[in-house]
């Protein structure tokens, strides 16, 4: 069993972290370290509080736990500090803001959620009624136009084409 220095371990973990997100399979080829060792190091880094997807995933495909960890890490940062954090981790401030909003919405009470669903439903019904009313008006106008065309054809068939037209 080969022993690795803490510096080697840290260097490999850095490659697993954003913005590089190098997959374990690629690190095996690059470093010659077994995949079992790399998976163990990744697991230890996660337990230590680091955001280490390390499987080449796009940040949007990270687990909820990893996204939540980023939200927690950035909660108290100023705008400049957040920008630096994003550059370091290979993220966008907009992604973190969306994740923060998702965390907040995840804790919405059932009553609040039901209220918003009812309000949306009420607005949808109102919109549907307006569309149905508009459709009925257009159908009436179309039927009237079709009736006028039929009458014109019949009048032309009976009296012939008029000169005033």
- For the chain, the structural domain boundaries read 1-57, 63-107, 110-158
Rounded-to-integer distance, Cα 3 and Cα 125, Å: 67
Asked if 92 and 70 touch (Cβ cutoff 8 Å), the reply is no
Name the one residue in this structure whose structure tokens are 């940040």: 59
Closest of 28, 84, 20, 27 to residue 52, by C-alpha: 20
Sign of CA dihedral 108, 112, 118, 123: negative
Task: Judge contact between 97 and 132, C-beta under 8 A.
Answer: no
C-alpha neighbours within 13 Å on the C-beta side of residue 32:
3
Rounded Cα–Cα distance for residues 143 and 25 (Å)? 68
Asked whether 39 and 33 are in contact (CB, 8 A), the reply is no
| pLDDT given at position 146 | 97
Query: Digits of tens for pLDDT over the chain (165 positions)?
Result: 678 888 888 888 888 876 677 888 888 899 889 888 888 888 888 787 776 654 556 777 777 888 888 899 899 999 999 988 888 777 889 999 989 988 888 877 777 878 888 999 999 999 999 999 999 999 999 999 999 999 999 999 999 876 555
In 33-77 the beta strands, taken as DSSP E runs, fall at none
């Amino acid at each position: 069993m080969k022993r690795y220095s803490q510096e080697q371990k840290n260097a490999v973990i850095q490659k697993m972290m954003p913005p590089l997100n190098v997959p374990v399979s690629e690190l095996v080829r690059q470093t010659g370290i077994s995949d079992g060792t790399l998976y163990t190091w990744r697991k230890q880094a996660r337990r230590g509080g680091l955001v280490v997807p390390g499987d080449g995933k796009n940040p949007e495909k990270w687990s909820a736990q990893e996204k939540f960890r980023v939200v927690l890490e950035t909660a108290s940062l100023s705008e400049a500090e957040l920008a630096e954090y994003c550059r370091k981790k290979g993220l966008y401030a907009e992604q973190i803001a969306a994740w923060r909003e998702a965390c907040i919405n995840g804790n919405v009470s059932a009553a609040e959620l039901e209220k918003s669903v009812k309000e949306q439903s009420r607005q949808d019904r109102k919109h549907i009624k307006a569309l149905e009313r508009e459709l009925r008006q257009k159908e009436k106008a179309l039927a009237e136009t079709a009736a006028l065309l039929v009458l014109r054809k019949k009048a032309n068939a009976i009296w012939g084409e008029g000169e005033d037209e």
